Structure 1
Amino acid sequence: MLLRFPTSVSEAQECLAEESVPIGGATLVWATWQRDGFPQHAMSLRDLPEANVVGHELLGGAVVLNRIDERLPDVLRLAAATIGTGAVRRTATVGGNIVGSALRCLLPAALVLDARARILEADGVHETDLAEVTAKRPLLLSLHWRAPVASAYRKLPGAPGGPPPLVVASALHADPAPDAGGGRLLRVAVRDGYDVLVGSAECAADTDTAEVLHVLRRQHFGDLPADARTAIGDQVSGLLSHPAD
Structure 2
Amino acid sequence: MLLRLPTTLTEALECVAEGAVPVGGATLVWAEWQRDGFPAQAVSLRSLPQANVLGRETVGAAVVLHRIDERVPDVLRLAAQQVGTGAVRRTATVGGNLVGSALRCLLPAALVLDARAMVLAPEGAYETDLGTLVAKHPMLLGLRWTEPTASGYRKFAGEAGGPPPAVVATAVHTSEAGPPRLRIAVRAGYQVHSESVICDGGAEQVADALVRTPIGDLLPQPVLAAVREEVADVLRRANAN
- The TM-score bracket by the shorter chain reads over 0.9
Identical columns (%): 60
How many residue pairs align between the two structures? Answer: 239
Question: Which consecutive segments of 4 or more residues in structure 1 shift more than 3 A?
Answer: none
2:45 and 2:202 mapped to 1: Cα distance?
46
1:125 counterpart SS class: strand
Q: Which amino acid aligns with 1:238?
A: D
Decide whether aligned partners of structure 1 residues 34 and 96 sit closer, same or farther in structure 2, where only a CA change above 3 A counts.
same
TM-score normalized with structure 2 length = 0.96
Q: Supply the distance in 2 between the matched residues of 1:194 and 1:231 (Cα, whole angstroms).
A: 18
Corresponding position: 1:121 with 2:121 = yes
Alpha-carbon separation, structure 2, partners of 1:15 and 1:114: 29
- What residue number does 2:50 align with? 50
Aligned to 2:192: 196
Residue by residue over 1:136-190, the C-alpha shift from the partner in whole angstroms, topping out at 9 and shown as x without a partner, is 000000100000000000110111111111010000111143xx3xx10000000
Please, which runs of 5 or more residues in structure 2 have no aligned partner?
none
> SS of 1:142's equivalent?
strand
1:70 corresponds to: 70
Q: Per-residue displacement from partner, 1:75-130 (whole Å, max 9, x unpaired)?
A: 00000011010010000000000011000000000000000010000110000100
The aligned counterpart of 1:6 is 6
Alignment correspondent of 1:220: 214
RMSD: 1.1
Match of 1:151 in 2: 151
Contact 1:66–1:80 under 8 Å retained in 2: yes
Task: Tell me the amino acid that sits aligned with residue 220 of structure 1.
Answer: P
**Structure 1: 5+ residue runs without aligned partners?**
none
What amino acid sits opposite 1:209 in the alignment? A
Counterpart in 2 of 1:166?
166
TM (norm. structure 1) is 0.95
SS in 1 for 2:142: strand
Q: Distance in 2 between matches of 1:133 and 1:176?
A: 29
Quote how far apart the aligned CAs of 1:244 are. Answer: 7.0
